[in-house]
Amino acid sequence: MTLVGMFQTYLTTYPWDLIDGDLGANLDRLQGEVGVTGVSVWMATPPVVEVRGREVEPRVFRTRGGLFFHPVEERYEATRCKPIVSTWAKPKDPLERIARACEERGLALRVMISTSQTSRLAERQPEMACKNLYGDSSRRSVCLSNADVQAYLDGLVRDLSSRGAVEGVTLADFVTAWGEALGGGLVSSGLMDDLQRVFLALCFCESCQQGASSAGVDVQSARRSAQVHLARCLEGSSQTDAAFDSVLANDEPLAAYQRWRERELSALSRKLANGCEVRVRVDRRVEGLLHLLPGQLEGGAEVSVISRIDRADQLPLVRSMHPECREIGISGPLVIGAQAPDLVSLFARVVELGFDGVEIDDYGLMSDSALTPIKQAIRYARRSVGV
Ligand SMILES: [Zn+2]
């Protein structure tokens, strides 16, 4: 499916945004008019409330999240963490329909899964949930250090990658974090800035404590230290604009705990990709929690990392940090509502810096008019690389 030398453009989308209206017409339009070479479709998400960009019913789409395909149960026999299929997907098996329609058109299909922020799993199986430094179990996120969660993800990746039309699996939310620290809805004495969120997001569940302790990390010191830092933040007596990195530079137990975390996540990404029939990617975007992502995810040959930018000036930075990157993710705010000349010059920069593909967000949020600048930018990029 993937043509060497061709500029690849993927558009991310929730499955309902392709299926509602008319699946065939949506794909024809994206391929024929807009010029995308593939779609990246969410197949496992947290709860979503989406106000859609186009006139399609229902205009506001709600789901409690879960899987948007019918899992093969034998894939999950080795884990106590069992898949939860979304109520919306139960009667219709969206993946099967989308895969067939993409295959008929020669459109590439990738699937994206939220690996940790699957709140329904965390609610149902609190023993697999992240726990913050106060011992509170998350109702939103499961812990990627938990053996059952790891075996579940292994089943999930293999389940999805063994379906013929799927050419890649993207691991999103690939982070160990007490989920309530992300996003809104948190009430606390202080304004939650990034640094406070990072401390509150650190996971000290039993799996993390055991794993890090047996790797020689002084977990209790790391935890006490995190508690002291957060207490200072909440009292307002800390420099809350300090970067997490500079905190770690002066705090060896906490730094050791984070280094263990990076190794753990790197090993998990390799394990999930190992022997997989399709390309596995790790999406570096985690809403508001860039500090928690492993700085160096040593994936090895099997795993690629996709970085996402939400400002044009981040592009050269990503290029210099990840010279091996072939593709760049572009977040919705940079695309939706952009003027054609701005988007064309962004894509020109993408080509200049040696990327040969982009993945842009997000079909469901785009109005009809938002598609026109994208079409022009894709044309420009394709002409520039001579295809
Ligand atoms: Zn944990």
The pLDDT, as a whole number, for residue 295 is 47
Distance 264 CA to ligand 1 centre (A): 11
Does the predicted TM-score (pTM) go above 0.85?
A: yes
Give residue 266 CA to ligand 1 midpoint distance, Å: 15
pLDDT, residue 189, reads 65
Q: Look at residue 240 in the predicted model and tell me its pLDDT.
A: 55
Cα of 167 from ligand 1 centre, angstroms: 31
Which residues, 6+ apart, have CB-to-CB distance to 83 below 8 Å? 66, 67, 71, 73, 76, 152, 155, 156
- Give the C-alpha separation, 284 to 305, whole Å: 7
The verdict on residue 165 lying in a domain is yes
Inside any domain, residue 274: yes
Kindly give the distance from the C-alpha atom of residue 129 to the centroid of ligand 1, in angstroms, as a whole number.
7
Question: Separation of 47 CA from ligand 1 center, angstroms?
Answer: 21
Distance 124 CA to ligand 1 centre (A): 16
The secondary structure of residue 3, as a DSSP letter, is: P
List b or e across 114-132, with b for residues whose CB sees 16 or more CB atoms inside 10 angstroms.
bbbbbbbbbbebeebbbbb
Q: How far is the CA of 206 from the centre of ligand 1 (A)?
A: 7
Q: How far apart are CA 387 and CA 37, in angstroms?
A: 12
Determine contact, residues 141/259, Cβ cutoff 8 Å: no
Integer Cα distance of 279 and 364 in angstroms: 25
* CATH number of 112's domain: 3.20.20.80
What distance in angstroms lies between residue 144's CA and the mean position of ligand 1's atoms? 7
Residues 6+ apart with CB under 8 A from 306: 170, 281, 282, 283, 284, 325, 327, 328, 329, 359
- CB burial of 25-62 (b: ≥16 within 10 Å; e: otherwise) equals ebbeebbeebbbbbbbbbbbbbeeebebbbeeeeeebe
What's the maximum distance between 2 C-alpha atoms anywhere in the chain? Answer: 61
Q: Rounded to the nearest whole angstrom, what is the distance from the C-alpha of residue 258 to the centroid of ligand 1?
A: 12
Query: Cα of 211 to ligand 1 centre, how many Å?
Result: 9
Q: Flag whether 108 is in a domain.
A: yes
Total domains in the fold of the chain? 1
Q: What is residue 12's three-state secondary structure? A: strand
Distance from the alpha carbon of residue 300 to the mean position of ligand 1, in angstroms: 24
Taking the chain (387 residues) in runs of 10, the rounded mean pLDDT of each run is 71 97 96 96 96 94 96 96 95 95 97 92 94 96 97 97 93 91 73 78 97 98 94 72 78 94 90 90 64 50 76 87 85 89 94 93 93 94 79
Q: Which domain holds residue 358?
A: 8-126+139-177+264-384
Dist. CA 148 → ligand 1 center (Å)? 12
Whether 184 maps to a domain, the answer reads no
Ligand 1 centre distance from Cα of residue 113 (Å): 19
193 domain residue, yes or no: no
How far apart, in whole angstroms, are the C-alpha atoms of residue 335 and residue 90?
A: 32
CA–CA gap between residue 123 and residue 177 (Å, rounded): 15
**164 Cα–ligand 1 center, Å:** 34
- pLDDT for 149 equals 97
Residue 281 lies in a domain: yes
Please write the tens of the pLDDT for every residue from 32-53. 999 999 999 999 999 999 999 9
Query: Do the domain assignments include residue 2?
Result: no
Q: What amino acid occupies position 295?
A: G
Query: What is residue 339's predicted lDDT score, i.e. its pLDDT?
Result: 92
Integer Cα distance of 134 and 136 in angstroms = 6
Give 146 Cα–ligand 1 centroid separation in angstroms. Answer: 7
Fill in the amino acid letter for 103: E
> Ligand 1 centroid to 251 CA: how many Å?
20
CA of 33 to the centre of ligand 1 (A): 46
Distance 244 CA to ligand 1 centre (A): 19
CA–CA dist 131, 133 (Å, integer) = 7
In a domain, 376, yes or no: yes
| Cα 227 to ligand 1 centre (Å) | 16
